[in-house]
Chain A
Amino acid sequence: MTLEVRLRHAFGGFALDVAFTAPAGITVLFGRSGSGKTTIVNAVAGLLRPDAGRIALGDAVLTDTASRRFLPAHRRRIGYIFQEGRLFPHLSVRQNLRYGAWFAPKGTRGEDMARVVDLLGIGHLLDRRPGALSGGEKQRVAIGRALLSAPRLILADEPLAALDAARKSEILPYFERLRDEIAVPILYVSHSAAEVARLATTVVALEGGRVTAQGSAVEVLGDPGILPTGVREAGAVLTARVLRHHDDGVTELEAGGLSLFVPRLTRTLGSRLRIRIAAQDVILSRARPEGLSALNILAGTIAEIRAGEGQGMLVAIDTPAGRLLARITRRSSDRLALAPGVAVHAILKTVAVAPADIGAGPDP
């Protein structure tokens, strides 16, 4: 099932004009706050009537201003995971989870309750009230509530934005499992490059109410010309496989035939990973460096150089392991005489790879 969205909507001096398709898996709407992400999601959910446009889910037309069709929100069968959870405070967790299933049309089979409860690890919370849950627990219940309403599409509007880093890393794996185990497409709003890198099957980059790029996480995050959330967040995504756990606390990965060393991971050998390499953690060298403490030195050629904001430059390097981005100063760029086609070595400290930037993933 594919979601097709074409929208035009103007409000308060802001004009939204977008068109994109969201295939199976997680499609991330990626952009700064104010780029129109939530407006799009609300239009898909039926909480907003756009000025013009068409929204269709497979054969089902949800909104079509040309034929004056507008399916009311409660008949769209879309599971909406809100940023603030929005659990019903007067119902128990179990009743919250069952709420949607009760209204689902007869004969539609949603997810199995026991399976969802198990997937989200909320079995011990069923008899509690939302008021007695932590932020992370609330958000997990909210995910479960949306899943159990037998949805044809799941919307998630920055579901992690209200949580601290520890809670985020608690929930992210659940979304990875949803992406890989649930057939329903997911439209996910985020302004975090790390979330995009870990979750996105497809990325739709938004700036000022327009789509600036659409493609896989590797394509979009590896393009130095597309930085919807600014140069500080820049970083490319590599796909790798767990090769070996070394006794000295380092895990060796394999990417495109090269070895990559990262801090010790608790993942099984052979499992596929996506790793986000922040552009500001990559050092460039013309000659192959000797006697460095950094364990990862990847040879490659410069594909593109972009002037970033202020004094910074963003360099895209193609290596056998995949595309990398490096953020360097203009002075360094001039001194090394960097230009497209020039051979360089990209250096990456092992400890620079944050555990939060490593996620499970078949193919980004």
Chain B
Amino acid sequence: MTDWLSPAEWQAVALSLRVSFWATLVSLPPGILVAYALARWSFPGRQLLNGLVHLPLILPPVVTGYLLLVTFGRQGLVGQFLDEWFGIVFAFRWTGAALAAGVMAFPLMVRAIRLAIEAVDPRLEQAAGTLGASRGWVFLTVTLPLCLPGIVAGSILAFAKAMGEFGATITFVANIPGQTQTLPSAIYTFLQVPGGQQDAARLVGVAIAVAMTALLLSEWVGRSVARRISGA
């Protein structure tokens, strides 16, 4: 099994899984918050927030990577601050790759969760209010469970997107084996060498397998969650 991929290739696959997992997990709470705000609140700057969230979807990934570099890099305003006060460094680390993947996947996640929240009948939330539940409790006991299928779908979509992220990652944290060389970066590296197509093909197979698994998993989880909450 292990000789099927070289240790370096395993490293790339494992790194990609780790990066995508953390990118998804950490963006979930802000993703739900932003999705809820966009779905249910009207506030000044709502359209601005909506545009900002969707920006990584439309911008060239290289531009997003550049913006991350100047903001979260060692010389960047936020990067310097985080390094000095919390010792958190993004530049040329796997954490940076996770940040880039998270930012790129964020619009997809927010979109899916927002649609799910908008589909929750506000009259049910109203009913929960008349039964004594404060806004926070209404969200936790009614809104959140009812939009769970959307949250699951959004998370898996974000995970798959993070697995495939290339442009922003390579621009922000480069392509360092064992540190920031994710699956797409590794494939790209193989293709830079004459005769590397053979090696690349194996990683391409892994990428396809991971993507398919994610897709099937999301279908299955989504269906079982939907069945559980539909109340039949």
Q: Footprint of B on A, CB under 8 Å? A: 45-47, 72-80, 82, 84, 86-91, 99-100, 102-104, 129-132, 145-146, 149
Closest Cβ of chain B to A94, distance in Å, is: 13
Instruction: Assess whether B228 is in contact with A100, with CB atoms less than 8 Å apart.
Output: no
Total A-B residue contacts, Cβ distance less than 8 Å? 75
Instruction: Assess whether A88 is in contact with B128, with CB atoms less than 8 Å apart.
Output: yes
Closest Cβ of chain B to A126, distance in Å, is: 14
The reply on B211 being an interface residue by CB < 8 A is no
Contacts of A77 in B (CB 8 A): 132
Instruction: Assess whether A103 is in contact with B130, with CB atoms less than 8 Å apart.
Output: no
Query: Given B121, B123, B130, B141, which contacts A73 in the complex, CB threshold below 8 Å?
Result: B130
13 additional contacts (CB under 8 A) given A74-B133, A79-B131, A88-B142: A47-B130, A74-B132, A82-B127, A86-B123, A86-B124, A88-B128, A89-B146, A90-B146, A99-B131, A99-B133, A100-B132, A130-B231, A146-B131
Name the residue of chain A whose CB is nearest to the CB of B135: A74
Closest Cβ of chain B to A185, distance in Å, is: 16
The binding surface of chain B is classed by DSSP as: helix
Name the residue of chain A whose CB is nearest to the CB of B123: A86
The reply on B164 being an interface residue by CB < 8 A is no
Name the residue of chain B whose CB is nearest to the CB of A89: B231
Query: Given A90, A100, A145, which contacts B231 in the complex, CB threshold below 8 Å?
Result: A90
Instruction: Assess whether A104 is in contact with B127, with CB atoms less than 8 Å apart.
Output: no
Instruction: Assess whether B132 is in contact with A80, with CB atoms less than 8 Å apart.
Output: no
The reply on B126 being an interface residue by CB < 8 A is yes
Nearest first, the 10 closest Cβ-Cβ pairs linking A and B are A103-B132, A131-B231, A129-B231, A89-B231, A90-B229, A100-B131, A86-B127, A131-B232, A80-B130, A73-B129
Name the residue of chain B whose CB is nearest to the CB of A85: B127
Question: Considering the chains assembled together, what is the distance between the CA atoms of A82 and B128 in angstroms?
Answer: 12
Which B128-168 residues have a C-beta within 8 angstroms of A?
A: 128-135, 137-138, 141-142, 145-146
A149-B124 in contact given A89-B229, A129-B232 (Cβ < 8 Å): no
Instruction: Assess whether A145 is in contact with B228, with CB atoms less than 8 Å apart.
Output: no
Question: Considering the chains assembled together, what is the distance between the CA atoms of A88 and B229 in angstroms?
Answer: 9
Name the residue of chain B whose CB is nearest to the CB of A150: B132
Please, what's the 1-or-0 string for B187-198, where 1 marks a CB less than 8 Å from any CB in chain A? 000000000000
Contacts of A88 in B (CB 8 A): 124, 127-128, 141-142
Instruction: Assess whether A103 is in contact with B131, with CB atoms less than 8 Å apart.
Output: yes
Name the residue of chain B whose CB is nearest to the CB of A82: B127
Contacts of B231 in A (CB 8 A): 87, 89-91, 129-132
A45-B232 in contact given A82-B123, A89-B146, A90-B146 (Cβ < 8 Å): no
Question: Considering the chains assembled together, what is the distance between the CA atoms of A131 and B130 in angstroms?
Answer: 22
Please, what's the 1-or-0 string for B7-18, where 1 marks a CB less than 8 Å from any CB in chain A? 000000000000
Closest Cβ of chain A to B80, distance in Å, is: 44
The reply on B42 being an interface residue by CB < 8 A is no
